[in-house]
A and B are shown apart, each in its own frame.
Chain A
Amino acid sequence: METVINDYVSRELVQDQALLPLADDTSLLETGVLDSLSLLRLVVFLEERFRIGVGDADLLPDNFASVNAICAYVRAREAQKQEATHG
């Protein structure tokens, strides 16, 4: 998962080539990688790629602060989805 998300962020969202290769713990907010529209792009990607729903309440900077944070968030959402599926 880290590789998939890191690849997407590096390919589609990073404007400053000096940030590449992107470390999984690099702050996407402090480095300016994520702004309002790039976060929307990322959310659309996560929803399509991992088949999860990202709710309004989940749109917190902490959930998207780095590749590691995004992976932790996606895993938590996947676990919630499985729990819901299995009752």
Chain B
Amino acid sequence: MGDGRAARLLRSAEGVAYWGVVAPVLARMPAALGYRIACWRGDRLYRSHASKRANTERHLRLFLGGGLGRVAARQAARDWFRFASCEAVDVARLRHRARPLRRLVKIEGREHLEAALADGKGAILCCAHFGSYNSALSVLHASGVPVTTIGRWQHKYTAGMSAFERRFWDWVVARRVRRHRQRPMIEPWPGRVEVAALAASALRANEVVTISIDAPPLDSDKARAVDVRFLGHQARLMPGIVTLARLTGAPVLMCSVYRSADYRHQVLEISDPVPMAGDTATAFGRCVAGVSAAIRRSPASWVYWPSPLDLDNLGMLSPGPDIAPARVPALVAVGA
């Protein structure tokens, strides 16, 4: 399948049908069968979506080239499509207080989180757009940890999306995830100056706040982004997590979710606290290094690989001594 308008419409319709109808059915099947079918769908998309596949493989090799050969990059790209399809099943398994998904997600390092909360200042989980993080954090909340997330729903800001599509993604994804959060999502849109104070309020109540630090900065935020080494390259990210931690005294713990080789089981790993000593760039650099390490461990799990637009907004595709200056058309990366 090409990348013309008809192909895009067809893929969009297939995505709606898959997330809205097929994935909920797969989520009611035995997990081994449901996730296997999801992987078949991922394989079909991998074969048919040529430009997305090419971008994913190219970026994987560009940023992880030293540790990732051509065959491994191809394998990781195929897994990227499989993971995206499996994520729809994860979200659909969030019904009934997330019990169907809780059986498949193991939480490791919970003792670090409990030790952090024992000090009464809440805890900040430093996440990335990595793996099935929304569903895994829902499992964490369903297991008794009060979780609130700072973040923007992608369907609210992806350009070129119809009002129907926005309502659909809100209904099929955001609605299910919202049920498993302590407070409403804290969405950092331009002009919403209360975001950090709302997060601080949750932390003062000794709750857990999650922040994905690898989000491409909005145009209005770019002046406040800082240069960091990310995946061995220069990137521009928002270091707000460090300021929030320092102002509230809340510890920062790394949080990553890994999918196992059988595609249905996952492990949510929580680290011990990241030291916040040193200047902001130094402390933030430790968080970014943690995310980089997670991506190198499971390259297929990072959601931004197929999107030149997002990588460009992260400042990672700028021409430099170790980055090829190639630019390719933007992709819409929702509901893969």
Contacts and interface: CB of A to CB of B under 8 A. Distances in A.
Contact of B193 (A36, A54, A56): A36
Interface string B50-61: 000000000000
B224 interface: yes
A7 to B, nearest CB: 19
Interface stretch (B137-145, B239-247, B299-307): B239-247
B188 A36 contact: yes
B184 to A, nearest CB: 10
B293 interface: no
Contact of B198 (A29, A56, A61): A56
B201 interface: yes
Nearest to A43: B197
Contacts of B283: none
Nearest to A40: B196
Interface in A33-60: 34-37, 39-41, 43-44, 54-56, 59-60
B244 A37 contact: yes
Range of interface residues on B (Cβ < 8 Å): 10 to 19
A59 B192 CA distance: 10
B195 interface: yes
Interface in B164-201: 188, 191-198, 200-201
Contacts of A39: 193-194, 196-197
Contacts of B198: 56, 59
Contacts of A59: 194, 197-198
Do most interface residues of chain B lie in helix, strand or loop, or is the interface mixed?
Answer: helix
Range of interface residues on A (Cβ < 8 Å): 10 to 19
Interface in B194-233: 194-198, 200-201, 224
A4 B197 CA distance: 21
Contacts of B191: 29, 61
Contacts of B196: 36-37, 39-40
Nearest to B240: A37
Contacts of A35: 193, 224
Given A43-B200, A56-B201, A36 B194 contact: yes
A64 B193 contact: yes
A39 B198 CA distance: 10
A44 B200 CA distance: 10
Nearest to B243: A37
B193 A34 contact: yes
Given A36-B193, A39-B193, 5 more contacts: A29-B193, A36-B195, A37-B196, A37-B247, A54-B197
